[in-house]
Chain A
Amino acid sequence: MTKIESLQHELVELYTNNLAEISSFDNPLMNNIRNSAFESFKQLGIPTRKTEAYKYTNLEPYLTGLEYQYDLSPLSLEVNLDDIFHCDIPELATQIALVLNGFYYRHNRPLNLPRGVILCGLAEASVKYPELVQKHYGKYADEKADSMAALTTMFAQDGVFLYVPENVVIETPIQIINVGYSIKNIRISRRNLIVLEDNARASVLFCDHTMCAKSFITNSLTEIFVGENANFDFVRLQNENSNSSQISNTFIYQKAGSVTTNNTLSLHGGLIRNNIFVKLDGENAASNTYGLFLADSEQHMSTYTYIHHAKPHCTSDQLVKGILDNMATGSFNGKIYVDNYAVKTSAYQRNNNILLSGTAKMNTKPQLEIYNDDVKCSHGATIGQLDTEALFYIRSRGIAYTEARQLLMYAFANEVISKIKLDALRERIIEMVDKRLRGELAACANCNIVHKN
């Protein structure tokens, strides 16, 4: 048996033996779909290099080798939120909610949200607002699309539920902080559900952190429903320690006239794999998917996108950029899929990568699958290095080599960062990226979360 096969076996056992306990925490809504997810998981198996979508992501070294436990109920730990977060700087006032090891933190501060807006744990929501949750939960995710999504659904007991009613605009961004904190190596599973009704508007910042040097394997799945003419903006900041792995699946479902913008910044982590599925299922919907990853040492960072144009007159734009140093490996695997009836589609996709060392490695696979002639689609991909002409030009003005390199790397990254709409957030991220590129710890300066490698 290969290591992956024995892991598969182990997880199947774990599930079968503990189903009662896994199911005891929440309610039927989440439990209802566990078994079908389990069937998908058994059928698909953990992806290997033979799985086309994981051709360039070898999970084995990251997922096997260590012993992990599953916390089947929330940690009874109390943290002082004020100690952890100092994000109340004036420029970026956010509403903060903490998710600890996959469970919505019970002692989150009361939030100041517009009427009708719900932000709470998913488990709690499914008890308090069963109709709402029932209407959307499990409707957009496809466990058959990725076995790791299936795995998440099997074990997830909680996560975040955000509901924005019709015509409601949330001015202050919501910040959801996912923290891994444990005295042993653990697996974390969480599912999030975000629903924006027609004409609603919200922006969310997700920060993924590990708070200690233990090893975390996180499987997360986020479903996002964006109603007609609604607008959803989210930034995801991934900043975990090098022993940790994160596989996240995001399923976005958009109605007519809606707009989503998704900025994923992968700054640090052992393995980061982001799968993003978007379905544009109403006319004039627009999807923007942006990503930046900075990988060094033996990190692996990988982005998979699947943008499905199902209705006419939709647009999608994708830009993913990567900088790889040392022995890091990266991959981009993106697809634009245009249905036969999705006329007047405009879809763009670009992936640019820079290799800084002879031992870094990048694979990219941008794809177009188009069943319609009335489209404008294009994609491009490059793998190269910093422009030596530009380096010399900068140095000839008296700027030192390392600084010149820094300027160029920053300029490269900035194209993605500049797409972040919230000024204050963008400023903060610029700082973090700059630090990260200088090889300093990219700890979130304002969040006091110290990141231990």
Chain B
Amino acid sequence: MLEINNLYASIEGKEILKGINLTVNPGEVHAIMGPNGSGKSTLAAVLAGRDLFEVTEGSAEFLGNNLLELSPEDRARMGLFLGFQYPVEIPGVSMVNFMKTAINEQRKYNNLEPLSASDFLKLMREKKEIVEITSSLTNRSVNEGFSGGEKKKNEIFQMAMLEPKLAILDETDSGLDIDALRIVANGVNKLRTKHNATIVITHYQRLLDYIVPDYVHVLYKGKIVKSSGKELALELEEKGYDWIKEQY
């Protein structure tokens, strides 16, 4: 589904990603861990098409398409979803309007008719339950005045609405209390099928108690320095990142 080969990316001449290789197949859950500043968010942003970063080398294929050539919106319409580490506040744009536009753009891309107002509202209601969102959140402007936890839930809610093939969740666990963490993880698990895949970016192992990964990768200084099964997360938890830093 996703095939990243020797990917290099930089910002303002500063190289952040230095040769990333990663393959993700349908049905898999990958966790990417690593200390702060190692480039995890950069990787996520590059995959989603943030033009702040310049890809200088390498390739990335998504469902057989050259990902790097596509506009951010086309990537999204094909089924790539990014849960932002810092969801953006958009004053004045209501959640309902925002989601309706997004859903219908995706449908248009797939040659489907736009959803009727009532079908759309029904869909909203359904999906809100998955992440236990109270209805008032969706009446507000996108992320405006949301608490940290509400913003993260809102990301999962949007993921549920858009039903992506590949979801990249960047630190969706940070800033969540244990209840919220459970809700978010449950949301992710409920949406898991053998056709879609998830990349969970996290700093801590605790999320991985709820979302059990098939693979764990450690990203450090722009490279994946270690890949293994879920036991790697536990080892990291125990030994700390210094263990990695000493080695590389």
A and B in contact, CB less than 8 Å:
yes
Residues of chain A whose beta carbon lies under 8 Å from any beta carbon of chain B? 387, 389-390, 392-401, 403-404, 407-408, 410-412, 414-415
- Bound state CA distance, A412 and B93, in angstroms? 9
Query: CA A398 – CA B101 in complex, angstroms?
Result: 9
Q: Once the chains bind, are A403 and B105 in contact (CB under 8 Å)?
A: yes
Determine if B88 and A393 form an interchain contact, defined as CB atoms under 8 angstroms apart. Answer: yes
B102:A399 contact, CB within 8 angstroms: yes
Bound-state Cα–Cα, A403 to B109, Å: 14
- What is the CA–CA distance of A415 and B97 in the complex, to the nearest angstrom? 15
Given contacts A395-B71, A401-B71, list 19 more A-B pairs with CB under 8 A. Answer: A387-B88, A392-B72, A393-B90, A393-B142, A394-B102, A396-B48, A396-B72, A396-B84, A398-B73, A398-B77, A398-B105, A398-B106, A399-B73, A399-B76, A400-B71, A401-B73, A407-B98, A408-B90, A408-B93
Closest to B161 in A: A397
Q: Could you list which residues of chain B lie within 8 angstroms of chain A, going by C-beta atoms?
A: 48-51, 71-77, 81-82, 84, 87-93, 97-98, 101-102, 105-106, 109, 141-142, 158, 162
Cβ distance A323 to chain B, nearest Cβ, rounded Å:
13
Is the Cβ of B90 less than 8 Å from the Cβ of A411? yes
Indicate whether A398 sits within 8 Å of B109 (C-beta atoms), given known contacts A393-B84, A393-B87, A411-B141: yes
**Cβ–Cβ < 8 Å partners of A410 in chain B:** 92-93
List chain A residues, Cβ under 8 A from B142.
393
Complex-state Cα separation, A394 to B76, whole angstroms: 10
CA A380 – CA B48 in complex, angstroms? 35
Q: Which of B77, B92, B101, B106 contacts A415 (CB 8 A)?
A: B92
Q: Which 3 A-B pairs have the closest CB atoms?
A: A411-B92, A398-B76, A395-B72
Q: Give which listed residue, A395, A397, A401, A404, contacts B158 with CB less than 8 A.
A: A397
CB of B241, distance to nearest CB on chain A (Å): 28
Within the complex, the shortest CB–CB distance from A199 to chain B, in Å, comes to: 36
Chain B CB within 10 A, most for which of A395, A401, A408: A395
**How far, in whole Å, are A394 and B102 apart by their CA atoms in the complex?**
8
Rounded to whole Å, the gap between the CB of A354 and the closest CB of chain B is: 12
Tell me if B92 and A412 are in contact (CB < 8 A).
Answer: yes
Given the known inter-chain contacts A392-B50, A407-B98, please indicate yes or no for A397 contacting B88, CB distance below 8 A.
no
Residues of A within 8 A of B106 (CB): 398
Complexed CA–CA distance, A265 and B144 (Å):
26
Known A397-B102, A397-B162: A390·B73 in contact at CB below 8 Å = no
